[in-house]
Amino acid sequence: MITTLLAFLLTLGVLVVIHEYGHYRVALACGVKVLRFSVGFGRVLWRRQATPDSTEFVLCALPLGGYVRMLDEREGNVPAAMLDQAFNRKSLRQRTAIVAAGPLANLLLAVLLFAAAHWIGIEEPKALMAPPPAASLAAQAGLRGGDWIRAASQGEDESWVELQSVSDLRWQLTQSAMQRGRLQLQVTDRDGRGSRSLTVDFSGIDPREVDAGFVRKAGFGSLASEPVLGEVRAGGPAAQAGLQPGDRVLSIDGQAIDDGNLVVRAVRASVVEGQARAQLWRVQRSGQVLELQVQPRVVTEGKQSFGRIDAVPGQAPEMVTVQLGPWEGLQRGITRTWDLSVLTVQMLGRMLIGEASLKNLSGPITIADFAGQSIAQGLPYYLGFLALVSVSLGVLNLLPLPMLDGGHLMYYIFEAITGRPVSDLWLARLQRGGIAVLLMMMSVALFNDVARLLGLH
């Protein structure tokens, strides 16, 4: 819990400082006097000001954001001698640059973080797939258990992209699903032999289904795993049946087992109408084949009941190290930041018109949870997570909503077209509307957080 909280505060702190520093540096470059640089809101916990005329740097009690306060005639009297340092006196081009600098700083940070993660090297699961569920898109495409997905191609252009890990595969799947396109996959067996091509057709997919669990529902969520038992919990159904760690499962009720995921499916499917039926297991132990009667227990979650034997039914997936050189890592950072930005805009647009689920909105609880998980996995994972949130912050701040940087840029576009600024009356109206939209988005995000926490999503 402490690790999660600290990781969350570190994430917010880094992203807020970089965002506001973008505004701050460009404001100074444009000759604007910056009065205060604040990280957080509310009561001031720490302050530093070198001289009475310099910028005041403060840290406040509520760390959910920050701001840069600049000299501006709209916010108070400005001495005549300092009018040339007021924000509102600067040219339209300068004001636009100052406002845009915050989101752009977040996007630049994302590029560097993605690059750094790949320079260090990330341990990720190899795209070696488990047998897909029978009715899934993966099964319809012809994917088989033990297939190693090596490359992908969007559309019909035959431009293949090498997939270095399962993360690359999930990215390609999500992009194709959002575009309702066809994704071509090049696969081999687990040893790299027998190359063949598959086509996954997403044309019939409702974009509202594309959420955090979409890849799993499409049949690509499970990785190949040797059907060798890991930990067997004392007193559980597996231990009572005589199963031991290291047992290789050969079959369950006559069905051949060649992957740990098939063990999970067979055990879960043992419950029929709320009752678990006994299963006949054939396992190999120290060169001998044993037959054991296993009686799963019934577990109920919500309206669903399934079987469980209190044992780890498989080994950890095979891992690969994804590490790139200086230039390749930077290219990956630029590409990933651009692709994520485009995907975020597409997702927000489709949520707005009802073509994507509002369940995709996440709030501080989910961010904190993922921050804690990523920092526990190591520095490269945390850098990747930080980059992902930085992209989201940069893109969201560019939305044309009052209260956000994008709202101010929208005002400047109006000013550039008409030659006059937005009137105070309309500013007030748009401000109220923007606050209402932001509160609604925050409410939905927080509801989604709580629903995920309770297992309702």
CATH of the domain at 139: 2.30.42.10
> Final residue of a domain: which of 250, 267, 299?
299
Phi, psi (degrees; rounded to nearest 5) at 320: -130, 155
Give yes or no: residues 149 and 177 share one domain.
Answer: yes
Domain count, the chain: 3
Domain assignment present for 194: yes
Q: What is the structure's pLDDT at 23? A: 95
DSSP state letter for 454:
T
Task: Give whole-number Cα distances, 91 to 72, 87, 415, in Å.
Answer: 13, 9, 11
Give yes or no: residues 173 and 117 share one domain.
Answer: no
Task: Give the span between the Cα atoms of 130 and 394, in whole angstroms.
Answer: 37
Q: 380 Cβ partners below 8 Å, 6+ apart? A: 116, 117, 118, 120, 121, 122, 123
At residue 373, the 3 state secondary structure works out as: helix
Q: What is the structure's pLDDT at 368? A: 58
Give yes or no: residues 292 and 410 share one domain.
Answer: no
Q: What is the structure's pLDDT at 358? A: 61
Q: What is the structure's pLDDT at 207? A: 67
Task: Give the span between the Cα atoms of 31 and 168, in whole angstroms.
Answer: 44
Region for 158 from its dihedrals, namely left if φ exceeds 0, alpha if ψ lies in -120 to 50, beta otherwise:
left
Q: What is the structure's pLDDT at 377? A: 74
CA angle 447, 410, 416 (to 5 degrees): 180
Give yes or no: residues 287 and 410 share one domain.
Answer: no
Q: What is the structure's pLDDT at 28? A: 95
Q: Which two tokens stand for residue 254?
A: 């006559």
What average pLDDT values come out for the chain (457 residues) when binned by 10 residues? Answer: 74 90 95 93 89 90 87 87 91 95 95 93 87 88 91 78 87 83 90 90 76 80 88 91 92 90 90 89 92 91 85 82 90 90 79 64 59 72 88 89 86 89 78 73 64 55
Q: What is the structure's pLDDT at 122? A: 84
Range of the domain at 147: 124-224+317-322
Q: Which two tokens stand for residue 168?
A: 């690359």
**Residues designated as active site:** 20
Q: 8 Cβ partners below 8 Å, 6+ apart? A: 364, 367, 368, 371, 372
Q: What is the structure's pLDDT at 327? A: 94
Residue for token pair 């701050």: 24
